[in-house]
């Protein structure tokens, strides 16, 4: 019981670190872009203010429950995807909840985020939302076929469905990387 609580604590800490890293990196990028364009630019912490502002906004227009659950599905897909991928190979506290067979779960989480966006857009009531949902889902489905083939090729090459074991097989120099040992799977995964 204590072991799972420690793992949950490590996962929440790594989620906190990666969220703050992403927000500060985007804020710094916005600042650099503004300086290149000859402007002062927003402060680095502006994304924290934007999140706080957007969480306090309310509207009197009701679009339906799926309109509000769509972004929840979207962020659940992203956070769930991060929590089941080992963030840093060999790290104790950035290992997250990776297990044998987590490649299959990761493929499902990739589609889960797009499904949430489609559900939210479909409930919005906009006349073109059905066309956007159809286009987005067909694009994701078309890109998942070569991605799944690349995953199957890597799983067959390394005889495992664990991301940690696939990453471990690539240690020891760039000649062990999958892009060198299996360039066709790399090309299929990049599509």
Kindly report the pTM of this predicted structure.
0.79
Mean pLDDT calculated for residue range 53-82: 86
Mean pLDDT calculated for residue range 155-181: 92
- CA 70/CA 122 separation, integer angstroms: 9
Whether the per-residue pLDDT at 180 is higher than 90: the answer is yes
The pLDDT value given to residue 116: 82
pLDDT digits (tens, 9 = 90+) for 26-61: 999 999 999 999 999 999 999 999 999 998 988 877
The pLDDT value given to residue 111: 83
Average pLDDT of the chain is 90
- CA 55/CA 68 separation, integer angstroms: 12
* Domains in the chain: boundaries: 1-58, 67-191
- CA 8/CA 19 separation, integer angstroms: 16
Whether the per-residue pLDDT at 119 is higher than 90: the answer is no
């Amino acid at each position: 019981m204590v072991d799972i609580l420690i793992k949950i604590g490590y996962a929440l800490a790594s989620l906190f670190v990666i969220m703050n890293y992403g927000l500060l990196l985007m804020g710094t990028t916005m600042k650099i872009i503004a300086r290149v364009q000859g402007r002062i630019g927003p402060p680095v912490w502006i994304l924290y203010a934007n999140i706080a502002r957007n969480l306090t906004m309310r509207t009197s227009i009701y679009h339906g429950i799926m309109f509000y659950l769509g972004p929840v599905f979207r962020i659940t897909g992203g956070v769930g995807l991060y929590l089941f991928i080992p963030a840093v190979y060999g790290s104790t506290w950035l290992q997250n909840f990776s297990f044998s067979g987590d490649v299959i779960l990761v493929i499902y989480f990739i589609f889960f985020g797009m499904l949430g966006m489609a559900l939210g857009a479909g409930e919005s009531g906009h006349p073109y939302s059905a066309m956007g949902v159809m286009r987005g889902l067909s694009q994701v489905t078309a890109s998942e076929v070569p991605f799944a083939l690349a995953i199957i090729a890597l799983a067959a090459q390394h005889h495992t469905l664990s991301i940690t074991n696939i990453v471990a097989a690539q240690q020891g120099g760039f000649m062990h990387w999958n892009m060198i040992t299996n360039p066709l799977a790399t090309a299929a995964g990049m599509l």
